Structure 1
Amino acid sequence: MQLALQLLLSGILLGGVYALAALGLNLIFGVAKIVNFAHGEFMMLGMYAGFWLMTLTGINPYWGSPLIAVAFFVVGAAFYWGVMRFTIYSTELTQVFATLGMSIALQNLALVMFSADYRTIQTMPDGRSSIDFGFVHLSSDRVIAFLFAIAIFVGVILFLRRTFTGRAIEAVSQDLMAARLMGINTQKIFLITFGLGIGITGVAGAVLVPSFYAFPSVGTFFVLIAFVVVVLGGLGSVTGTMIGGLSLGLIESYVGYFSPDLKEATHFILLILLLAVRPQGILGVKGAEKESLK
């Protein structure tokens, strides 16, 4: 009983982390129908932002997350305006090369600027690195990251459903041509979406750096997880992202305990099975994986 509860809670916390890591990717895909292969590198930069923020100024990345969100919103908007707006109506192959090229460029830029050293930070005072609930022990940083994930997901859902801009984003995601006919400035919506998606990704990296090491190629690990979560939960579905993240976290928690050698392989196996059996995911709309802006 104790072991089952420990694995359950650890899996839920890990799943929340994975969902937060994937939210920005799914948000951008849901609106622009672009798979951002540079997603992991933007998250890597978010991890470095959290690390350097605390190292240079002493500001905890949890408290500094609003500042990081604003900075990465600007980065995301610049990424769209400088790169993606020229490819958004192009073929899928052009979009892949554009985002993949940005991924390689950012990874090598981080290598030049920060070296290949593994970096992390300690945000909790000694003796408070874990939270004990009787016989269950949970990482304090994982608990805080999970709470951040819940808060961000609730905030995104409220933004999409309660604000004019949010409803415009949903309209563009559902039918681009109809949104244009209704007078919605789609270029503005794409810019806001990229800014919002990468802003969330930057915050995700910042709040995860106490739990994971930051290094230039860490994005390749997170981007695979993000793809699995997005495909599992449903392409373009915010709620599905949380469900997909929690599902993957629970699966990985139990598989990692009973067969540690298969823990990493779980991501590949799940991705292959999902693409073969249910490519639209749990809450995704059938055919969303084939949608085009044209």
Structure 2
Amino acid sequence: MDWLNAGVQGVLLGGQYALLACGLSLIFGVMRIVNLAHGVLAVLAAYLSLVLVEQGLPLWLAVVVVVPVFAALGYAVQRGLFNPALAQVGGGARGGSGGGSRGAGELAPLLVSFGVAVALTNLLQVVFSADTRKIPTGGLASAGLPLGDLSVGVLPLITLAVAVAVIAAVQLFLARTATGRAMRAVADDAGAAAMMGVDPKHMYAVATALAFATLALAGVFVGMSTQFSSGYGDLVLLFAFEAVIIGGLGSLWGTLAGGVVLGLAQTIGAQIDPQSGVLAGHLVFLAVLVVRPGGLMPRSVPA
């Protein structure tokens, strides 16, 4: 029964990792860049939600406010920071108006995102100190559903359901809408898409806005489920990155699978040795890199 419980908890934990990794996978799938500020931005969303709740807003309303705010922030960051960085180093396919090739311009937004991560981490420490905080949820965090001899946490179950719903919604958006198809076209060949009248800079900004919206939602769930601090973004980024790599770069459903695999590795590892749960996850991540460098479900463009 202990092993069954570890497996169930691992799947639920994987839902949180998948939700955290969704935006990271989307940005990589569309633009082939890794947003190193992903973790600290999720923590920023948790802090913003906490402030709103402390000001008297219901938690659900705080989420309704935070998610679109971060979507707008993502659009602005892409247009104001990432696109100019790409253009300055010859990444015209992304930062310019059309032609060019991937490659040379990919390092610049990586360095920009690193700078954003460092600045935001220090800013959060100045504003909120290094003390740990948690978003109050009433009795939701401790509520459980009895399933025979097992008790399944309500909040982790909601997180898993939201992760699946978000990934499915993003997949449908990419596959069934005109904007989504344009985004995929830009991801395949920005120059050709530009000749067909698609603005690559706008499409990259829309992708980043969508990614920021998902990471904001994930940050709120992290803030509800665990204690976080100004420096917690590094750990968030690590787990999200491992989930993306395990699942396959650019594959959203692969990200869900990668999150579940990582969650299972950690909970089963902790069942074997309570101090080795996180280490077990890292070892599985390393094993996947060695055996299947492209991940379990590799795909170059989310579709």
Partner of 2:166: 152
Please provide the CA RMSD for this pair. 1.9
- The percentage of counterpart residues that share the same residue type is 33
1:217-232, aligned counterparts within 5 Å? 217-232=231-246
Distance apart, 1:19 and its partner CA: 0.3
- Are 2:6 and 1:16 equivalent residues in the alignment? no
* Residue identity matched to 2:263: G
Distance 1:127 1:42 in 2: 23
Answer whether contact 1:11 1:251 (CA < 8 A) is retained: yes
SS in 1 for 2:139: coil
Q: Secondary structure at the match of 2:260?
A: helix
Indicate the SS of the match to 1:260: coil
**How far off is 1:193 after superposition?**
0.6
Q: What SS does structure 2 have at the residue aligned with 1:261?
A: coil
Q: Give me the whole-angstrom Cα distance separating, in 2, the residues matched to 1:219 and 1:189.
A: 27
Gaps of 5+ in 2: 92-103
Which residue number corresponds to residue 66 of structure 1? 64
* Paired residue secondary structure (1:217): coil
TM-fit CA distance, 1:74: 1.0
- Distance (whole Å) between structure 2 residues aligned to residue 146 and residue 195 of structure 1: 22
> C-alpha separation between the residues in 2 aligned to 1:143 and 1:50?
21
Q: What CA distance in whole angstroms lies between the structure 1 residues aligned with 2:128 and 2:217?
A: 19
| Residue 198 of structure 1 pairs with residue 196 of structure 2 | no
Aligned counterpart for 2:282 among listed residues 268, 276, 280: 268
In structure 1, stretches of 5+ residues that fail to align are 290-294
Alpha-carbon distance in structure 1 between the residues aligned to 2:38 and 2:142: 32
Partners of 1:63 and 1:253 lie apart in 2 by 33
Letter in 1 for 2:39: G
TM-score of the superposition, structure 2-length normalised? 0.88
Deviation at 1:79, TM superposition (A): 1.2
Shift of 1:255: 0.9
TM-score (ref. length: structure 1): 0.90
Distance, in Å, in 2 between the alignment partners of 1:127 and 1:81 is: 38
1:181: which partner in 2?
A: 195
* Equivalent residue runs for 1:35-114 within 5 Å: 35-60=34-59, 62-88=60-86, 89=91, 90-114=104-128
63 and 254 in structure 1: CA distance in 2 versus 1, 3 angstrom threshold: farther
Shift of 1:32: 0.9
Residues 96-137 of structure 1, C-alpha deviations (whole Å, 9 max, x = no match): 221111100000111111111111133133896222223111
Letter in 2 for 1:76: G
In structure 2, distance between residues paired with 1:150 and 1:126: 20
Counterpart-to-counterpart distance in 1, 2:150 and 2:264: 16
